[in-house]
Amino acid sequence: MIKSRMQNACIVIVTGFALWLASAEDSNAELLRTGGTGSTVETLRRLGVAFTKIEPGTRIEVVAGLGSSGGIAAVAAGAIDFSISGRPLGAADDQALKASVIARTPFGLASSHPNPGDVRSVDVADLFGSATAVWADGKPVRPVLRPKSDSDSLLLVRLFPKLAASLEKLRQRAEVPVAATDQDNATVAEQLAGSLTGMTLAQLQTENRQLHWVSVDGVMPTLQNLENGAYPHGKDIYLVVSSRATPALDRFRAFLGSSEGQKVLRENGSLPVQP
């Protein structure tokens, strides 16, 4: 707990200094500071560009590398104005904060294998957990893990039966890579032959990752399939704010609910949800 608090404090200090430098460079623009889950960083940048076109006097500064928990801690400390989180607020977070779902993006299994094929939901645990698992062409499946407390690790366990036990076994194997961030996860998966990992459509699409989807129960993780219910596995994206609301933040929240804001979300792999 002490180590976690120290890490959060360091994040806030570094973030605050970086944002002070950024604001000093453009003192005429009203600045909204944000950051959070890595899977939507590029989406957030594109939302910022679209918002500034409508509100030319307001600029959105996106700080990369915070992650969901770091972003939430930075909002609580006043270092940023809002964050985008891949998880809801928990008991350890500042209870004065408020979180609301603003989007939902397909969450699927991705691989560097050019033709990973299909897997049944009930077989996902074996695909991850078996040391002898292979793709249809006989090449070995090589999983990439995330930290145990990461929102994507927790989501995988919720979505697929018996996967928790398989992931625990994987964590005992020294050769299995563990990627700390969403970007690290995608990069390792791209570079590892026959890789298997979980990720969102929003990240794969906006970052142009050289990865291929594994269909689940014969269905691909597309936006259309998520929207029509054919693909049930999605990840909620949360907007986290404090009580220190500003007119600029209120305008941005209104933008998210507008037709233009929803268009940007859809174009970047997320279904909009009214904030």
pLDDT per residue as tens digits for the range 10-19:
555 555 555 4
The stretch 168-175 carries a mean pLDDT of: 93
197 pLDDT band, cuts 50/70/90, is very high
Cβ–Cβ under 8 Å, residues 261 and 54? no
Q: Extract the tokens encoding 186.
A: 């995608």
CB atoms within 10 A of CB 115: 9
pLDDT tens by residue, 141-159: 999 999 999 999 999 999 9
Read off the pTM.
0.87
The CA radius of gyration of the chain, in Å to the nearest whole number, is: 19
275 pLDDT band, cuts 50/70/90, is low
Answer whether residue 236 shows pLDDT above 90. yes
Q: What is the pLDDT of residue 220?
A: 98
The overall average pLDDT reported for the chain is: 91
Q: What is the pLDDT of residue 27?
A: 53
Q: What is the pLDDT of residue 29?
A: 72
Answer whether residue 227 shows pLDDT above 50. yes
CB-count burial class (<10 Å; 0-12, 13-18, 19+) for 247: exposed
Distance CA 102, CA 93 (A): 19
Q: Which residues, in sequence order, are bridge partners of residue 235? A: 105
Ordered by where they begin, the domains of the chain are: 2-104+235-272 (3.40.190.10), 106-227 (3.40.190.10)
Closest of 73, 98, 79, 102 to residue 33, by C-alpha: 79
Answer whether residue 1 shows pLDDT above 60. no
Q: Which residues, in sequence order, are bridge partners of residue 214? A: 109
Cα 198 to the center of its chain, rounded Å: 11
Answer whether residue 244 shows pLDDT above 90. no
Give the type of residue at 258.
S
Answer whether residue 135 shows pLDDT above 80. yes
Higher-pLDDT residue of 25 and 268 is 268
